Structure 1
C-alpha cells in the first residue's frame, strides 16, 4: 500500500479526508491502548531491546538495528534479532537462513538482519524469544514491535523520520500514527530522529518535556560510481520511495524514469520483464534499494527475475549518528542494569 497524500500534507493542517476518518482513528487508538492494558508482557531471562517507531512506513529502523547490533557484537554479546517477519508467509518461530529463505517466506528486514546475526521470525514474540535464548542469545533486539505488548522490553528506542515527522498527527487510517504521541513516549527510553528536517520537532519537544534523551542520525548511502556512467531507471517498493530516488540523484545518478511498487511488493516475472524492457528502451541501467534486492536474490535460475538480480545496481546504506557514543552508552547501561536485577540471566563479559 502507498501512503495517502493526506497523511503528509505539504502545507500542514488537517485535510478533510483525515477529519472524516478521525473517528475510525480514535477507535484504532483505543483498541491499541486496551490491548496494551490487558496483555501482560512476558519477561525474558536476557535483556530485550526494541527498535520501533510511531508511524506506519519507513523511518530508518533497520539501519539503526544494524548499527546497534554490530556494536553489541563487537562487545562480545551473543546478539539475536527478533522480527514479526512482515510480508512473509512464515508464522514461526523459525530461524532465518538467508541462503535459502526468500522474502516471501520471512519478509525483507529479517533477511538483511540475518547477514549480521542470528535472526528469528515469530508472530508470537515470546515464543521467538524463548527459541533465541535456547540457541544461546545473550541479548535480543527486536526490529519493530514497539506497539506489541506481548514481550517485556528493557529498552525501547523510538525512531522517527526527520523529514516526514508525524505527518498530519492523526491515527491510522486518518493519518500515519500507530498510537498517540503521549502514549508512545511513556514507553520510550530514547528518541532517534533519522534525517534532517523540522517535521519531527513536535515529537522532540514532547520528549524534551518528559526528559527523554534524543539522538540525531541519518542514513548514509555507500558510493556507487556506476551511477555516473549512464542514465538509470530507479525502482522501489518501500515505504517512502521518493527518499530513495533523491538519494540516487545525490549520488550523481541521472534518472530517466522512476517506478514505484507497493511496500514489500513481491516482484513477478512480468515486473522484471517490464523493467528490463524499459531499461532497453531508454538505454539505461536499473538501480534499486538493498531491501528491494532481497526480494530478487533467490529468484529461480534462468528466470527474468534472476537476470534482473544479476544486472541491477544496489544502493546500500548505513546509519550514522551525531552522538553514537552517547547512544551506545545508554544501550550498554540499560543492558548492565537489567543483568543486575535479581531475576536476570547469566552475565556476558564483553570482548
Structure 2
C-alpha cells in the first residue's frame, strides 16, 4: 500500500483541489462497495466470526485489537488476507517456517498471540480454520467484505485521524460512507488520548447512537529504559507519526524520523544506510513490531522495537458480547 496522500487529512470543509477533482471516481468506488456489501450475508463456517475492521484505509490500529481478542477468547484463531504476502492460502501460519514476504507482516506478528490462517478467499480460510478446530474466528479487516457472515463487528477508529477529509477513496480515506458503516457495527472502538477521543465524539455526535468503546494503544512495559534514549525512528505503517508520538511519550529522545509506505519492504542497502545514520547521530535505530518482522534476521538484533498493546477503559461490554457470541455456539 502506498502512503496516503496528504490531502486525505485535510479538514472536510477544505478538502483541497485534488479531492474535488477525484470525487467523480469516489462515486464509482462507493457504488462498487455498496453493491459488494449488498451481496451478503455470506457463508457461515461454523465457529462465530468476529470482524475487526474500519471505515478508512489503513492506520486505525486494528492489529493490536485482533491480538488482544486472540488472547481474550479461548480457542480463537485469526483470519487474515495476508496483504503483502505471496501465498494465497488457505495456510496456517508457522513463524518458524514462513516469512512476512510469504504470508504478510501482520499474520507473522499475530502468530505470537495465537493461531493464524491466511487466505485470499476468506470463506475458504474460515472453513480451513473451522476444520482445524477453531472455536472462534477473529477476522483482521474485511468489514466491507461479504464473503463471511459476521456474528460481531467492531469498527476501529483512530481519534486523531478520524475520517480525514470525509471523502471516499480516492478523494479521501473513507472506504464507504460513515452512516451505513456505523449502522452495521456492533461496537465502535475509538482509540487515542482522552482529549482526542472527547474531541472526536463532539465532532461526530452520531456515533453515540452505537455502542461505543474507548481505549488506547499503550506501550508495553518491558523494562526497556526509554527515558532520554537517543533514537532514530522509522516506520512503514498506516500512520508512522503515531509511532513516533508513542516513542516520545515514553521519554525517548527522537532525534530523527523516517516514514515509509504501509507494509514497506526494506532492502538491505536501505537498512545499512539507516544504521549508519543512527550511528552518526549517536542514536539507536527503533521501529514498530510490525516493521520488525519484515527485517532480515541478521539485521533485526540491531533494531529495537516499541511494542504496544490495547487498553480499554471498560472491557465489560465487549467481554459480555464475546461471551454471548462464542458461548452460543
TM-score tier after normalising by the smaller chain length: over 0.9
Contact 1:48 1:140 in 2 (8 A): yes
Distance, in Å, in 1 between the alignment partners of 2:176 and 2:281 is 44
Distance 1:230 1:43 in 2: 50
Match of 1:179 in 2: 176
- Describe the shift of the 1:4–1:142 C-alpha distance in structure 2 as closer, same or farther (beyond 3 A): same
SS at match of 2:56: coil
Structure 2 SS opposite 1:228: coil
Corresponding position: 1:220 with 2:218:
yes
Structure 2: any 5+ residue segments left out of the alignment?
none
Q: Which residue of 2 aligns with 1:5?
A: 6
Tell me the CA shift for residue 282 of structure 1.
Answer: 1.2
Q: Are 1:47 and 1:140, in contact at CA under 8 Å, matched by a contact in 2?
A: yes
1:267 and 2:258 are equivalent in the alignment: no
Residue 93 (structure 1) aligned with residue 90 (structure 2): yes
SS in 1 for 2:188: strand
What is the TM-score of this pair, normalised by structure 2? 0.93
1:72 equivalent to 2:69? Answer no
Give 1:202 deviation, angstroms: 7.2
Deviation, structure 1 residue 309: 0.7
Superposed, 1:215-294 pairs within 5 Å as 215-223=213-221, 225-228=224-227, 230-294=229-293
Inter-CA distance 225–244: structure 2 relative to 1 (3 Å threshold): same
Residue equivalent to 1:136: 133
Q: Tell me the equivalent position of 1:311.
A: 302
Residue segments in structure 1 that go unaligned for 5+ positions in a row? 301-305, 340-351
Distance 1:165 1:16 in 2: 20
Change (3 A) 1:225 1:335: closer
Query: 1:152-186: CA deviations, max 9, x gaps?
Result: 11011111001111011100010000011122123
Residue 201 of structure 1 pairs with residue 201 of structure 2: yes
1:254 CA drift (Å): 1.0
Scaled by the length of structure 1, the TM-score of the pair is 0.88
Shift of 1:67: 1.4
User: Compared with structure 1, are the counterparts of its residues 57 and 171 closer, same or farther at alpha carbon in structure 2 (3 Å cutoff)?
Assistant: same
| Deviation, structure 1 residue 15 | 1.8
Map of 1:336 onto structure 2: 327
CA-atom RMSD in angstroms: 1.8
TM-superposed deviation, 1:257 = 1.2
How many residues were matched structurally? 324
Partner of 1:33: 34
